[in-house]
A and B are shown apart, each in its own frame.
Chain A
Amino acid sequence: MADFEGLYNYWIVIVLAMAGLYIVIARGNLIKKLVGLNVFQASVFVLYISFSKVSGGTAPILDKGIDVYSNPLPHVLILTAIVVGVATTALGLALVVRIRKEYGTIEEDDIHSQDESM
C-alpha cells in the first residue's frame, strides 16, 4: 500500500496516458482524436515534472538560505515538449479544418467511406 501511495503520481500518469490513447484509438472524430493526443502528451509532462520533484526542495530559483531545489532540468525539457505539443496540435487542427473543407465531415468513418467510393 505504501508503494501504491508513494508512487501515486505514476498512477496519474498511467491513467492519463491510457485515457488519451484510448480516445485516439476509439474516437472517430478527428478533433476528439487530437484532444486525446493532447491528454496523452500531458501525461508525459506530468511524468517529467513529477519525477523532478525533490522532497523538501523548493522551486529552482537561487536564493539565500535555500539549498534544496527541485531538479530544474525536466522542467526545461518539458517546456520544449509543450511547445512541440502546441505545434503538433496547431498543425493537426489546421489539417482537420482542411479535411472538413474537402470532405465536408470530420468523422473518420465518413471520410473512409468517401475515399472508398472514389
Chain B
Amino acid sequence: MLKAHLPALVIIIPLICAALCVLLRRKDWAFTVALLATWASFAGSCLLLVRAMNEGVISYEMGGWPPPFGIELRVDALNVYLLIIVSGIGSVVAPYARNSLLLEYVEDRAYMFYSAYLLCLCGLMGVSITGDAFNLFVFLEISSLSSYVLIALGFDRRALTAAYQYLVMGTIGATFIVIAIGLLYQATGSLNMVDISERLPKAGYGNTTVIAAFAFLVVGAALKIALFPLHQWLPNAYTHAPSTVSAFLAATATKVSVYILLRFVFTVFGVRFSFEILPTATPFLILAILAMFLPSIVACFQTNVKRVLAYSSVAQIGYMILGLGLVSVAGLTASIVHMFNHALMKGALFLVLGCIFYRIGSCHIDRMAGIARRMPWTMAAFVGGGLSLIGIPLTAGFISKWYLILAALDKGWWYLAVLIVISSLIAIIYLWRVIEAAYFREPPDDLKEVSEAPLNLLVPAWILVLANFYFGIDTSISVGVAEMAAKALMGAG
C-alpha cells in the first residue's frame, strides 16, 4: 500500500527523523534514527527506480490537489537518478559520521549534526523530486541552510568564514533562482514545471520577461553549481568542512544544482528556446572548457589535499556542463552519467581523506608523506578513487569520459575531444603528487605511531571505491537510466 506513496515517503522520512533526532537527543539513538532514515530513503529510491522504469513517469499529488494547482512530485528517469545518487551517498556517509572526529568535536550536540544532515538530505531529495518550481526553491534552501551549518562544523576557524562565504553566495544564487521563478510565474501564471513549459510558447519566446527569467535562472544555478568563474566559495567550503560533510556535499549538492540547471534549461524552457532562440550553447561550452582547465591547473599547486579535490570538483563540473552545452542526447547522457560517477569518486576520495585526517589530524600533502606504509588500505582506497577520477578503464570515471568524448566526436568536434583528454591528463598530475608523497617519501618520525583507520571509517570508503569499479564494468543501470533521462530531456523540447 505504501508503495503508491513512495515519492512522498523518500522525502518525509528524513524530515520526520530529523525532528526525531532533536527530540531523542541521545547520540546513539540519533545515530540509529539517522542511519535508518537514510537507508529507508535509499531503499525507497531504489523501489522508485524500479517503478519508474516499469511505469514511466510517476506523478504524485501532494495533498490530493491535482497539478498545476497543487504541488506535484514528479518522478521520471532524471529525477529518480538524482534520488539514487543523493540517498545512496547519504546512506554510505551516515555510518561513517559516527566514528569520525566530527562528533567528538560537537560532543553532546551530536544529535544536532544528524538532524542537520537529515535535513540536508531531505532538501536535496526534495529538489530532485519536486515538480513545482517554487517548491524546488524551498527545498533548495532547506538543503543549503543545513549545509552551511554542516560546513561551519569544521575544525578550523576558517570553516566559519568558508561557511559565511558560501552562505552569501548561496543565498544570492537562490534568490536569483527565485526571481527567475517569479518572472516565469508572471509570464505563464503557473508554478508547475511541466505546466510552465507548456504555457511558455503561448507567452511568446521573444517575451523579455521570459528571457530575463532565463538569465536569472542560469546565473543563479551557476552560482549554486560553482560553475567557473562563480566557483570561489566551493574550494574553501569543501576544504574546511569536516571530511564527512565534504564527502556528502561534494557528491550530492553540486549534482543537485546541475540537475536544477538541466531541468529548467531543457524541460521548462525547452531546447528550442534555450539553444535555438538564445545562443546559450557556446557560452556554456566556453565556460565548461575554462572550468575543465583552470581549476585543474590550480589544483596542481595546492598543498592541502582536500583543496586539491575541491578544485578538481570544480573542474569535473566543467565536464557536466560541457555535456549540457553539446545539446545532444549523447552529450546529456555523458553529463548525467558523470553526475553519478563523479558522486562516487569524489565521495570515495573525501571519505578516504577523512580516514587520514582521523589518524594524523591533517590533510596536508607534506604530512601525508609515507602514510601508505602506515595506512595501506586507506591509501589503496585513495588510489582506487584516484584511478576513477583520472578515468582508467574499468572504473566509473572511464565510462563518463567515454561518453563525453563520444558525444564530442559525434558532433564532429574532435578538438573538443582532445581538450577533454588533455584536461583529464592534468588529473594524473595532481593526484600523482599525492600518491608519490604517500608512497615514496619517508614518513616523518611522528608518523611512526599511526595505524590503519578504524573499520567503520574504512568500510564506507571502500564501499564507494568498489562501487567505482562496479559501475565501471556493469553500466547497464548507470548508463541505461541516464540515457533514458537524456532522451526525455531532449524530447521535451
Contact = CB atoms under 8 A, between A and B. Distances in A.
Interface in B106-163: 134, 137-138, 141, 145, 148-149, 152, 157-158, 160-161, 163
Interface stretch (B80-88, B166-174, B357-365): B166-174
Interface string B178-193: 1100100110000100
A28 interface: no
A102 B137 CA distance: 33
B145 A44 contact: no
Interface residues of A, number: 30
Nearest to B133: A77
Contacts of A87: 141, 145
Interface in B241-283: none
Contact of A41 (B137, B171, B182, B186): B171
Nearest to A97: B160
Size bracket, chain B contacts = 20 to 34
Contacts of A80: 134, 138
A96 interface: yes
B175 interface: yes
Contacts of A92: 164, 167-168
B182 A44 contact: yes
B168 A91 contact: no
Contact of A40 (B152, B160, B172): B172
A99 interface: yes
A96 B149 CA distance: 13
A24 B191 CA distance: 29
Interface in B69-102: none
Contact of B171 (A37, A98, A115): A37
B161 A88 contact: no
B185 A95 contact: no
A47 to B, nearest CB: 6
Contacts of B152: 95, 98
A84 B164 contact: no
A44 B168 contact: no
Interface in A61-101: 73-74, 77, 80-81, 84, 87-88, 91-92, 95-96, 98-99
Nearest to A114: B157
A1 to B, nearest CB: 19
Contact of A51 (B172, B174, B186): B186
Contact of B175 (A30, A44, A74, A115): A44
B164 A24 contact: no
Interface of B: 134, 137-138, 141, 145, 148-149, 152, 157-158, 160-161, 163-164, 167-168, 171-172, 174-175, 178-179, 182, 185-186, 191
Given A30-B164, A37-B168, A91-B148, 9 more contacts: A24-B168, A37-B171, A74-B182, A80-B138, A81-B137, A87-B141, A88-B145, A92-B167, A99-B160
9 contacts: A44-B179, A48-B182, A74-B182, A74-B185, A84-B138, A88-B171, A111-B161, A115-B158, A115-B161
